[in-house]
C-alpha cells in the first residue's frame, strides 16, 4: 500500500509535468495564451523541455541568446527544431549525469540564420546516429531549405540548423 506522503509526491510531480507540458505547448503553438516575442518563446520552450526531460535529481541549466530573430514565417520551425535539439541534449547528453549545461543561440552568420544548441553532456560519438529527434529536425529544416548538423568538438556536442532566408522578411 502506498503512503499518503508518496501519493502527495506523485500528485505534485504529475502537476509539475502537466504545467511544463502546457509551457512547452504555449511556446510552440500558443495553446493557452497568445505567443509572445520570439526570444521569450525560445527561453520558455527550452526551460520547459529541460524541466520535463531531466530527472528530479539532475541540475541541468539552460541559457538562451537571440542575436537575430528568424523571419516570422520561419519562427515556428526554428522553435520546433530547438525543441528537438534541447530534448536530445537532455535525453542523450545528460543521461545519468547530475550536472549539465545547455546553451541555445540564434544568430546570423554571413547570409544564414543559425540555431545552435551546445551541451556538455556525454556526446554523440564521432559518427552520430540519426534517431527520431534528429530525423524530425532534418525534416523540419528541409521544409524551409535548411540543413541540420550534429558534431562533437572536445567536450561539447553541437547541434545546428542553418538556413538562408530574407532575415527581415
pTM: 0.89
Give domain status of residue 152, yes or no: yes
- What CATH number has the domain bearing residue 76? 3.30.565.10
- Comparing 133 with 102, the larger pLDDT belongs to 102
Q: Taking residues 104-130, what's their average pLDDT?
A: 83
The DSSP code sequence of 46-77 is HHHHHHHHS-TT-EEEEEEEESSPPPHHHHHH
Give domain status of residue 140, yes or no: yes
How many domains would you assign to the chain?
Answer: 1
Give domain status of residue 104, yes or no: yes
Give domain status of residue 138, yes or no: yes
> Given a cut of 50, is residue 169 above it in pLDDT?
no
The domain in which residue 156 lies consists of 4-164
State the CB neighbour count (10 A cutoff) for residue 116. 19
Give domain status of residue 69, yes or no: yes
Residues 100 and 123: their CA atoms lie apart, in Å, by 12
Residues 31 and 141: their CA atoms lie apart, in Å, by 23
State the CB neighbour count (10 A cutoff) for residue 42. 26
Please, which residues have CB within 8 angstroms of residue 3's CB and are 6 or more apart in sequence?
none
Whether 70 contacts 61, CB under 8 Å: no
Residue-wise pLDDT tens digits, 38-61: 999 999 999 999 999 999 899 999
Residue-wise pLDDT tens digits, 70-81: 998 899 999 999
Secondary structure class of 43 (helix, strand, coil): helix
SS3 content of the chain, % helix, strand, coil (to 5): 45, 25, 30
Give domain status of residue 169, yes or no: no
Amino acid at each position: 500500500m502506498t503512503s499518503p506522503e508518496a501519493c502527495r509526491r506523485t500528485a505534485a510531480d504529475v502537476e509539475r509535468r502537466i504545467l511544463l507540458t502546457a509551457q512547452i505547448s504555449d511556446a510552440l503553438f500558443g495553446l493557452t495564451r497568445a505567443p509572445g516575442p520570439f526570444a521569450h518563446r525560445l527561453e520558455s520552450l527550452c526551460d520547459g523541455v529541460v524541466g520535463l526531460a531531466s530527472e528530479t535529481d539532475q541540475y541541468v541549466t539552460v541559457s538562451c541568446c537571440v542575436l537575430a530573430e528568424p523571419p516570422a514565417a520561419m519562427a515556428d520551425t526554428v522553435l520546433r527544431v530547438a525543441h528537438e535539439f534541447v530534448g536530445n541534449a537532455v535525453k542523450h547528453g545528460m543521461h545519468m549525469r547530475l550536472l549539465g549545461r545547455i546553451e541555445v543561440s540564434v544568430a546570423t552568420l554571413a547570409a544564414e540564420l543559425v540555431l545552435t544548441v551546445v551541451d556538455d553532456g556525454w556526446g554523440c560519438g564521432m559518427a552520430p546516429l540519426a534517431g527520431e529527434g534528429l530525423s524530425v529536425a532534418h525534416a523540419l529544416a528541409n521544409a524551409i531549405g535548411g540543413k541540420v548538423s550534429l558534431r562533437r568538438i572536445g567536450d561539447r556536442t553541437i547541434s545546428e540548423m542553418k538556413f538562408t532566408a530574407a532575415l527581415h522578411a
